[in-house]
Structure 1
Amino acid sequence: MPMSSLAVCRAPSAILTSLLTLPLLRLTVTAHQCGRGRTKGTQRVSIPVAVRRFSASPPLSREIAPTDAAHISEVRKTIADEFALIKDAYQAPKHPVVLAHGLLGFAELKLAGSYLPGIHYWRGIQEALTTQGAEVITASVPPSGSIEKRAAKLAQDIEAQAQGKSVNVVAHSMGGLDARYMISQLRPKGVDVKSLVTVGTPHHGSAFADYLIDELGPDYLPHVYKAWERVTGWEPGAFSQLTQKYMAEQFNPATPDDPNVQYFSYGAMVNGRPPLFSMFRISHKLIQEREGPNDGLVSVESSQWGVYKGTLAGVNHLDLINWTNRIRTNLQRLMGHPPSFNAVAFYLGIGDMLAKEGL
């Protein structure tokens, strides 16, 4: 559920409207693309200077804030700097990798037609995986449609691009729910999923979604949905499906895992409290009080499904897809605290993990 840095109004309707329109407006992000060139077997990735500078200094260990330490039992394995630097070589997975985006996401967004480069949801990540030697498929599903409709489009995209090949699905945020529904309920004949890796997916819902829905109330909510559909042209079926109640009482009981698919998951958490002007300051505080450590939109507890690979420390929901705030990153470097997380390294690591699992 990516968001941007717009100011959040106090009125519930304004909160919802501003939060849901943010990903289309956030343009001050960094994009790191890897160069071409690889060798057979273990893939050697040629990384340009721009990417290497992202984490050129040795990573520093991160301290967990006292408020997070109180919930350390929920965090399980904490990953502080494992993905700070891009390694010299990675193995490529056997099967194509499908990148499934989250709420309000897109494969590529064109704001000025052919006059300006498009904005990619997976910033530099697809290029890096391709350089690694992986075959990559990007899906594009209805931005705010229901899980059912998003899953159906996900299946269509995979079937059209995979051409009968088995695939590994790597999903961010709500994309993980789409993939689970597709695998469990739709079972498309032309799609053979070998594994699903979810990153910051609200498998058990988000307390922030509950808060927004409760604050709007049943009387006002239909009007907000109609306004959303009129302004964006997108149906709002996704929003009510991200609540903890819906996930616990409806989605999860009706969406069992497929025994033939391997499920992996990663969570993330912001250390301490987000800065004053962070787009996650309000949502993080609310989720922290109700669920514990979180990335600003999804809690560590909610992100766990299948084999939990660990919690990325000091990482927010947008960092997970390389939409890192450039100003924040540069300030950290000037203060002698280089970022301990590089999204490109993270997804290259996922590809390497899948390869070692024989996938």
Structure 2
Amino acid sequence: MNATETRLLIPSDISSARHGAFQDNWKVHSLSGETMGTHWNVNVSGHTSLELAEIKNLVLQALDTVVLQMSPWEANSDLRKFHAGNPQEWIAFRPEAFRVLQRALEIAKETDGLYDPTFAHAIDLLGFGPSESPGAAYNSPSVQQAMTAAGFGQIKTDTQARSVLQPGNLGLDLCSIAKGFAVDLIFESLVFAGQKNFTIEIGGEARGLGCKPSGAPWLFALDRPRDLQIRQRLPETRIALCNIALATSGNYLRYHIVDGQPIGHLINPKATNEKTPLLSVSVMSQNCMDADAYATALFLMGKEQGLIFARKRNLAAVFLDHTGEEFSPAAETMLN
């Protein structure tokens, strides 16, 4: 297959997703804006008189909820309150932030700490946090010390009180899962409002329901590095985004140069340096929160271990490096 061809990934239940989507007097309505340092887009299939202002309000409410609770840059976010907490102090979390943290901790345990939401201080020192640090080298003493001090095993939660114990100078970073959760929160809001055919995308993380007015599926292209040689060599891969979510993780998406070396924002707590031949990993799942977190986890594992993990857990994943793409078995079954 050459770069001029297109590969299509099709969910197994796409026929049920198309039910009721055919409407001659409907059109696709598009809304967009900015959030979390990127852009959001929502496409809704509906009648020409669809109340777009109401839909946009639901979208903005969901985005505000995630930013206000989970942004490292928001002064009154639950994460900032946790960072400021005294040793052995229980910090109350709001429902959405607590829900996301719980899932992040579950995946941290599932991956033996390779995926870990407690590396906020190291991420900040690398230049990707709220302190606006110019960025230290990955192997610098300050970054390595911050990585050594982190670890999800130190976190204790009280589900009934919805609170989290601050063990002492531990930070939380949910950026690898919060954007996917924001997609899910918008999804839940639109479904509750009665919408049945739409797509949501925030900076490459996406989820769709139903199809277009014609009954054709929503098609969404997997993210690609900006390197023209890679783009020209690889065929485009698209997914029929009907009743499924998609997320992509890779250090080419966010990085800067320190001492002539590229430093990526995704931290491997078990590696002595952050270089990996992988360019990105895309994961397709029933919800975007899981897709977002698992994409990061698989990227940090590397292709060989990532494929083993994906196979054991039946994760649909696409691994991209300079040699091309490799599909997990669950993703292979979606290839058209």
TM bucket (normalised to shorter chain) is under 0.3
Larger Rg: 2
- The structure carrying a bigger strand percent of its residues is 2
Normalised by the length of structure 1, the TM-score is 0.23
TM-score by length of structure 2 reads: 0.24
The structure with more helix, counted as a fraction of residues = 1
Indicate the structure whose relative CO is greater, using CA pairs within 8 Å and at least 6 residues apart: 1
